[in-house]
Structure 1
């Protein structure tokens, strides 16, 4: 058996640059390499991990059969695995995609791509979200018409007022009516009919990256970790730009004072999404190094009018989730101090 540490140092270096945690195992079920992300995830150095049995590094009953399938040429994704760790620490919750790696029999390996997850965030609170979202949309429609009348009445009043200092008050009314009008548009805009077409997800993300990069402080860095093999998706490109823009802007506001935002794309295989098994699902992750979301807000972060910022409207993530939902996808959040991840899942057309 060829050991990666002996013959493939350049490949190790390449995988160490990935933000996704990867573990490489040989046909004997022993670890040959952990990239840097996996070392951080498992709190274990590559040197200590090399040669250890998978059953010891990742103790879970479902893994042996999945690894066996990978050796037969298949890829499989196991979701929400609870991996036991040291005493007095909760289990590590991960999604794990196991795939064959390497064409030569003498150097073939399997790769386990591990994504930390938290079950309570996955599709949590769908019913409250839908109820509150529908209520907010209905309220927005009720506000829209009288708001237009209020603005019009202020304009008519302004024409009748003799002094400029009095007209300042009508200008306040008009400005506030316009501000509320924009807020209403944001609350109802995501319910426009989808205009589906083919598009490249990286074109969407690069557009969002440029927009947020232009308005973010200079000490906020936006990095990319893309899988270039991802094919075109089918959906409403314009609305998805808005969804991703809301999420990335949210991340940029979280790292005020300096930090890093990472945009990552991966394909998840044999993935269950909204009770439907998909052969392939696009996973996009927006990760930031901000202070994290307060635990009290975590379960409600996608609900309308919920925001951790005093000047926030609490609509950005709500609109993003609604757009993603209408594309048959899902969004979840995993947050801790120094690392917050929003994971967006979109079904890919069967090839």
Structure 2
């Protein structure tokens, strides 16, 4: 057992999850990376079989049995391993035959980050399409009654006797102003679907500079906007105004949450452009893609809405409409691209990926 303990000490240092199996098909060791992957302690994993760990263990069980029979030295396969009540594990599995009767098989599981990314993008596209249909239908359902409510309030105001006009007009004006506010909201919801897609040559740095000038004019004090551009990025075909609006929505949100830092001259937004190579977007592989980052040093996105920030009417700040990021994602998707987000306290990075010619 001393020999095994030394071997296990070495496995403790690996970044990939490792399960060591005995001849009866039970786990005799799980390294710390496996504890993180399975979200369970080593003690809870030991003595379990593969069928107890996974709902669909058939392929992995077969690989284990072939390794036990010394049919190969090692075998690799991408698997989606399902667990009760949890997300499936998208992993690249390596099963290795060991020359030790006490621990004859080693199973290594590496998270398949590319597959996770593809699945996340697919969910995002499906969600975006569902949002579009919901918004379009909801906006039209709201629009007609709003016109009737506003018109009725105006007629009611005309019928109010002169002696009561001053005291009652206040109420009719509330109805009219709130109807107008909702009408503006509906118009913003429908804007991406109404406006034609005007395609021309786009220089992404002209887009960034336009956004920078707009943000600086609105927030002249306490905010530093850093530019980190790759000037070799070529022009591409796109709708310049839509892209300006998409980047502006993200940068404006960043500026809003940085208001406390602006008071101490500590607020910072970085506009960074790069070229990404061999990028897969919506299951299509592109040789080159624009890789635009809008980074801020604000408090970060609240964890409870982090997975829902591109949903309509979800906002992380008081007074926000919850439409800015939804519209930004819609505009970028119309360019066959996607917006990703990484956020933690002190660092939020919105990454825009758009295919390049």
Decide whether the 8 Å contact of 2:211 with 2:247 is kept in 1.
yes
1:89 Cα shift?
9.3
Whole-angstrom CA distance in 2 between matches of 1:252 and 1:221: 10
Ranked by relative contact order (alpha carbons within 8 Å, sequence separation 6 or more), the top structure is 1
Which one of the candidate residues 170, 178, 184 is aligned to 1:176?
A: 178
Match of 1:143 in 2: 142
Decide whether the 8 Å contact of 1:155 with 1:174 is kept in 2.
yes
Where 2:294 maps in the other structure, the secondary structure is strand
Whole-angstrom CA distance in 2 between matches of 1:245 and 1:147: 30
Where 2:259 maps in the other structure, the secondary structure is coil
Whole-angstrom CA distance in 2 between matches of 1:149 and 1:284: 45
Match of 1:241 in 2: 244
1:252 Cα shift?
0.9
Q: Does 1:340 align with 2:348?
A: yes
Whole-angstrom CA distance in 1 between matches of 2:119 and 2:209: 27
1:149 Cα shift?
2.2
1:153 Cα shift?
2.3
Where 1:345 maps in the other structure, the secondary structure is strand
Decide whether the 8 Å contact of 1:292 with 1:335 is kept in 2.
yes
RMSD of equivalent CA atoms: 2.6
Whole-angstrom CA distance in 2 between matches of 1:172 and 1:249: 29
Match of 1:214 in 2: 217
> Radius of gyration: which is bigger?
2
Large movers: runs of 4+ above 6 Å = 86-90
Report the structure, 1 or 2, having the larger helix content.
2
Decide whether the 8 Å contact of 1:125 with 1:299 is kept in 2.
no
Match of 2:324 in 1: 316
1:88 Cα shift?
10
Q: Deviations over 1:293-313 (max 9, x none)?
A: 122211111111211123222
Q: Does 1:327 align with 2:329?
A: no
Note the 1:115-154 alignment, pairs <5 A. 119=117, 123=121, 124-154=123-153
Whole-angstrom CA distance in 1 between matches of 2:119 and 2:214: 28
Q: Which runs of 5+ in 1 are unaligned?
A: 1-58, 61-85, 91-117
Decide whether the 8 Å contact of 1:285 with 1:344 is kept in 2.
yes
TM-score, scaled relative to structure 1: 0.63
TM-score, scaled relative to structure 2: 0.62
Which one of the candidate residues 223, 226, 231 is aligned to 1:223?
A: 226
Q: Does 1:266 align with 2:274?
A: yes
Which one of the candidate residues 283, 289, 308 is aligned to 1:275?
A: 283
Match of 1:115 in 2: none
Q: Which runs of 5+ in 2 are unaligned?
A: 1-14, 17-32, 38-115, 262-266
Q: How many residues align?
A: 240
Decide whether the 8 Å contact of 1:217 with 1:256 is kept in 2.
no
Where 1:333 maps in the other structure, the secondary structure is strand
1:256 Cα shift?
1.7
| Cα 1:143/1:135, change in 2 over 3 Å | same
Which one of the candidate residues 301, 305, 320 is aligned to 1:297?
A: 305
1:187 Cα shift?
0.8
Q: Does 1:257 align with 2:260?
A: yes
Q: Deviations over 1:204-253 (max 9, x none)?
A: 11111111222236222222111112221211111111111111111111
1:322 Cα shift?
0.9
1:122 Cα shift?
5.0
